[in-house]
Amino acid sequence: MRNCLIASTLLMLGIVCCFATACSDRIETAGEEAAKTIPELSGIWEASFNLTPSGQPRFDLCGEPTCDELLGHKLPEDTTVEEPQMLPWAEEKYKAAREGVPETIPFAREDANPWFSACMPASPSLLMLSGFIAFELRQFPDVVLLLFAGITGSDHEVRRIYVDGRGHPPDLRPTWMGHSIGRYEGDALVVDTIGINDNRWIDDQGHPHSDALHLVERIRRADQKSLEVEVTIDDPKAYKKSWRKKSVRPLALSGPRFWEDVNCEELLQMGTHYSAESKK
């Protein structure tokens, strides 16, 4: 009887150990599979007006054929996938921002742009869509960092996208960059951002927004040398329905990259900022 009890106990222990080992193996396998599904998005993604063979910024617009020749592929594109249906106040501000600007020009008046004329940080969507701004993307287990550099003194903006499973905090106070959380879906990083203050534009074209702005971005590699950012804009205080824009930008040329430290206020003092004349 005693021997039977000992044998039964040993058998049960063996089953438990095998079950635990199998579970552990499944957990490790699941973890490995999850790690494999995270797309590699890290790199420096170029601005269309920041292109030379050495990777240093140039301030003249080189033109598409010239820039294509320098890069070996197409320029970044900021594409309005859908034309937004604006509410009256938003349409009025948009028309004022584009007064005197031909429809074919993809940039609104510089003196009306808070980023150009008032040294305000650019909005999260403008940072991702603008042809004047390059950014470095770095992925970590709990956060994705976006570090921006532009030719007009926007070299201090940082976006933090939390990918650790947290949600948006309740009663979020609007800030310059808002609050961003992300998750990986297939080959894309999907970013959800709210809590953005209403002092800036959505894009270079001059589309305004309110403090109800909600951005959903899908960031993915279109190929090994191109990054695609599709932004869905939802702002019920400014637009009748949500709309989308897409930007495709090239990977920066390999080799050392010098990120010049430029401050907007310093450019104003030196008289080299775009809005310097209006500040005199």
Per-residue pLDDT of the chain (280 residues; tens, 9 = 90+): 555 544 454 445 454 444 445 444 444 444 444 455 899 999 999 875 443 333 333 333 334 444 444 444 444 455 555 679 999 999 999 999 999 988 878 788 888 888 777 778 889 999 998 877 889 999 999 999 999 886 554 557 899 999 999 999 998 999 999 999 999 999 999 999 999 999 889 998 899 999 999 999 999 998 888 899 999 999 999 999 999 998 888 888 776 665 655 566 665 665 544 444 444 4
pLDDT tens track for 73-115: 444 455 555 679 999 999 999 999 999 988 878 788 888 888 7
Provide the pLDDT for residue 73.
45
Residue that the structure tokens 């702002």 belong to: 235
Query: For strand 143-150 and strand 179-185, is the pairing parallel, antiparallel, or unpaired?
Result: unpaired
Kindly give the residue spans of alpha helices, DSSP state H, lying in the chain.
2-36, 64-71, 88-97, 114-117, 124-129, 264-270, 276-279
Give me the sheet containing 243-250, strands edge to edge. 43-45, 133-139, 143-150, 158-162, 179-185, 188-194, 214-223, 226-234, 243-250, 77-80
Q: What is the predicted pLDDT for the residue at 19?
A: 46
What are the structural domain ranges in the chain? Answer: 43-279
Look up residue 26 and give its two tokens. Answer: 């499944």
CA angle at 124 for the pair 121 and 127, rounded to the nearest 5°? 75
Phi/psi region, residue 93 (left: phi>0; alpha: psi -120 to 50; beta: rest), is alpha
Q: Which residue has the tokens 């191109």?
A: 226
Length of the chain: 280
pLDDT of residue 207: 94
